[in-house]
Structure 1
Amino acid sequence: MERGTYRKGATSLRGRHVPNTTTDQRLLDQSQDTDWVHSDPWRVMRIQAEFVEGFGALAELGPAVSVFGSARIKPDSDYYAKGVELGRLLAEAGYAVITGGGPGAMEAANKGASEAGGTSVGLGIELPFEAGLNPYVDIGVNFRYFFARKTMFVKYAQGYVVLPGGFGTLDELFEAVTLAQTQKITSFPIVLLGRAFWEPMLTFISDTLLAQGMIGEPDLHRLQVTDDPAEAVRLIIGGGVGLGVSRPE
């Protein structure tokens, strides 16, 4: 991908042709006119096309694990190294590795999988500040709409491994937890990699959400936490049984 290139679905744009807004933004924008009456039915066709494209690209993928984490993680960081090791170990265990296809933790997991001879998948998204997929993606699909992309992360994965990240990472994490809690997905291990980073969140879940009755006891054990990529892979293989979040005293 050349520097300054903007991806909009299958289209590449540069210079003055780069739009000021994204497709998702225009879909969700509540404009004051009635143009949406005429444009929204056509958007449905584009959304349908994104699902068809994703299903077609991933239908024969085989066992896979989705890996999430911040695009801001630097290549010289410990988290990046753990992401590379995780990708390698997942590939050696027979899993394809699915990420958001961007830099940082996503690139690390794709790199580990690709260098180990595994299948490295990147599901990109149209964003104003990211251009294209990282160079370690073997199968890449670019999406306009977050919800179509997020469906692919869940549908074709046997579990999630989540490295430290920001709002986007938390969004994917808690969507998966909610789907598991409501039994929309079953037997879906979710492993958090990086104990020091995740412990404050897990403490809040245990000491506040559970203590105030916002979640139930079984919900604590939907999240597994470890510092060891090898342990993360073992938890995925074992269906998430092993570590867990302790109930508050």
Structure 2
Amino acid sequence: MRRVSASTEHPAPDAYAPGHEIETLGEFDRVAATGSLAGCRLQSLDLTDRTFALLSVRTTGTVFLGCRMEPDAAAKVGADGALVFPPIPHLPFDPYRASLYDAGELYAGLVSEGYPATPDARAYRWYQETRKNGDVFASMLRSVHDDAVSDALDERLVGERVVGLMGGHALERDSAAFADAARLGRHLSRAGFTVATGGGPGAMEAANLGAYAAPFDDTMLDEALARLAKTPVFGPSLTDWAQAGFDVLDAWPDGGSSVGIPTWFYGHEPPNVFATAIAKYFVNAVREDGLLARSTAGVVFLPGAAGTVQEIFDSATPNYYATASPTVPLVLVDRTHWTERFPAWPLLQALADGRPMSSRITLVDSVTEVPEALERLSRTSD
């Protein structure tokens, strides 16, 4: 669904185009004041205090997604011909959500009860259980949730220059490579790009941390890295690992923005807390494709293993088949890693040979070369 802008000048009934999304009570009140909600889509609103308004306005063709209403209001809008998808009780997530997640929501209860009690952990357990038993209703709920997240992500990224930073989850916080990835994220954020990652630990966390550090002086990142290094891995100490991240947020509130796009498919990889907007998916294929497709200003591949290799060739495929000049630069970082350990670069070169994409890919030795490489490749794609 795509939001349609509307005038603030008291539009006439039905002036809002079909499909207009209403995601806040303030927006509900503005539209309801026109006398008609006809054709609008309302997401996850508590309308129990808006019964009089619902009884008074037209709701023909209106769609209510997970909105709470009093019984008489629900009966009235149903009689009008509205389509009502009621809230689903006892779920650890809202399938109709109108906004992206943040770390505070996913990690609620971390301090008092530990990670297993958080909404993030409970959603992962629900996912495991429902995948195992093949419940078609649960499958539908997962699909509805992921589509709602995609809609919110598109709204978040409108007009922004997005650079995707891909890399392995195993990168430890006390490593030089982690610090390098964080500095790269900081540099890109300061240059006006929106940093987007897979939202997990390792290189992904480092890049989101760097973007968060962008508004502060350079010493902040050094101090944050020193704090995080005391809990270098997320494995057996997951609660401590996440709490160390929140300690950094508490010490330096209101940092720079970035996007994380993790998945419950890899539930053993927790979301990092430094992405200020988190689009978490159940279906990994939707997550992978969505992350790469939205990285319109370039994709950077830091050292990684199977997941990062997959992302390289997921990005290469649309460029390979493009008949016009591709628009997304691809930068691989660490020559030894991508030519010897996992030789993706020679295959990528072979695919690009004789095609327009050959001028949009490059291999560099270190993250310090990435900004110049992105700028150079972007010029060739203009």
Find the aligned partners of 2:167 and 2:367 in 1 and give their Cα distance.
14
Match of 1:56 among 149, 152, 155: 155
Higher relative contact order (CA 8 A, sep 6+): 1
The RMSD of aligned alpha carbons is: 3.2
Match of 1:236 in 2: 374
Find the aligned partners of 1:229 and 1:192 in 2 and give their Cα distance.
9
Distance change >3 Å, CA 148–CA 205, structure 1 → 2: closer
How many pairs align?
A: 223
The Cα shift of 1:22 comes to 7.3
Asked if 1:217 corresponds to 2:366, the answer is no
Match of 2:261 in 1: 123
Q: What letter is aligned with 1:169?
A: T
Q: What letter is aligned with 1:171?
A: Q
Asked if 1:191 corresponds to 2:331, the answer is yes
Distance change >3 Å, CA 223–CA 239, structure 1 → 2: closer
Asked if 1:18 corresponds to 2:160, the answer is no
Return the TM-score normalized by structure 1.
0.75
1:72-83 to structure 2, matched below 5 A, reads 72-83=170-181
Write 1 or 2 for the structure with the bigger share of strand.
1
Name the SS for the 2:171 alignment partner. coil
Name the SS for the 1:97 alignment partner. strand
Distance change >3 Å, CA 48–CA 112, structure 1 → 2: closer
Match of 1:174 in 2: 313
Match of 2:200 in 1: 102
Q: What percent identity do the matched residue pairs reach?
A: 26
Match of 2:14 in 1: none
Whether the 8 Å contact between 1:50 and 1:148 is mirrored in structure 2 is no
Whether the 8 Å contact between 1:6 and 1:18 is mirrored in structure 2 is no
Match of 1:162 among 301, 316, 326: 301
The Cα shift of 1:42 comes to 5.9
The Cα shift of 1:236 comes to 1.3
Find the aligned partners of 1:222 and 1:6 in 2 and give their Cα distance.
45
The Cα shift of 1:59 comes to 2.6
Write 1 or 2 for the structure with the bigger share of helix.
2
Find the aligned partners of 1:241 and 1:74 in 2 and give their Cα distance.
34
Asked if 1:205 corresponds to 2:344, the answer is no
The Cα shift of 1:202 comes to 4.8
Where in structure 1 are there 5+ consecutive unaligned residues?
243-249
The structure with the larger Rg is 2
Whether the 8 Å contact between 2:185 and 2:207 is mirrored in structure 1 is yes
Asked if 1:137 corresponds to 2:275, the answer is yes
